[in-house]
Amino acid sequence: MHQEHTAMKVCTDACLFGAWSAADGQILSAKNILDIGSGTGLLSLMLAQQSNAHITAIEIEAGAFEQTKANFEASVWKDRLNIVHSSIQDYASNNKQTLFDCIITNPPFYEGDLNSPDNAKNLAAHSTALPWDTLAEAAACLLQENGAWFVLVPTLRAYTMQKLALNFGLQLSQECLMYNDAKHLPIRAMLKFIKQKEVVIQRQKIVIKNADQSYTTEFTNYLKEYYLHL
């Protein structure tokens, strides 16, 4: 993965989120997938590796758009990958007839925090340009009935995202809490929402590292097909 032109670099939590999502049955059987805010294109490429879906990635920031485009072109799945330079708001407004089986998003996390002097980092990390209610509305608009939306959020804001998604008819189906190690609180929540009326929620957790800082067996099993040195 090349990432020199993106503000937000590839990180462990995004890799685990991609692997967790890519193992889901709805991703594996999907015909078309939307990646909102592609960054480097990491999530799209991980899903393309496991599925046969055609994947459309949306990216608003110019440097990240070019990075995704280059990473797509360098991949063996480039015929199934498409990158669009747009905000999700504009894309949803102009493509209301295009519905997706699955959508995946690693959205901007920060809301009331200090902005960076780097505008590209603000677009990637702060929710000012993409409020979560706007994101949830766009996901619901672009998702097929019974389709799935996968989203990564800080653990403390998982319930906020659940409430916002519910406002647009998206029910929480799975919640997987991500722990850096067993001694600390979870750092991220990986969420799967379904566009349907009633869902039984499944809950799980994944610990990334053992006490000796080696990767756990569970983490290794998820990432071994993507990491070169596992």
Q: Is position 18 within any domain?
A: yes
Q: Dig out the tokens for 48 from the structure.
A: 């393309």
Position 228 in a domain: no
Read off the pLDDT of residues 95-130 as tens digits, 9 standing for 90 and up. Answer: 988 999 999 999 986 554 444 444 444 444 434 557
pLDDT at 122 (0 to 100): 41
Number of domains, the chain: 1
Half-sphere exposure of 227 (CA within 13 A, CB side): 17
Q: Please check whether residue 4 lies inside any domain of the structure.
A: no
Domain that holds residue 108: 12-223
Closest CA to 83 of 94, 75, 72, 74: 72
In a domain, 208, yes or no: yes
219 within some domain: yes
Helix (H) or strand (E) holding 107: none
pLDDT number for residue 120 = 45
Given this model, what pLDDT does residue 30 score?
98
What digits encode the pLDDT tens for the residues 162-201? 999 999 999 999 999 999 999 999 999 999 999 998 889 9
User: Is residue 7 in some structural domain?
Assistant: no
**Domain at 36, CATH number:** 3.40.50.150
Average confidence score pLDDT of the chain: 89
pLDDT digits (tens, 9 = 90+) for 74-86: 999 999 999 999 9
Q: Confidence class of residue 229 from pLDDT cuts 50, 70 and 90?
A: confident
- Is residue 66 in a domain? yes
For residue 113, is it within any domain? Answer: yes
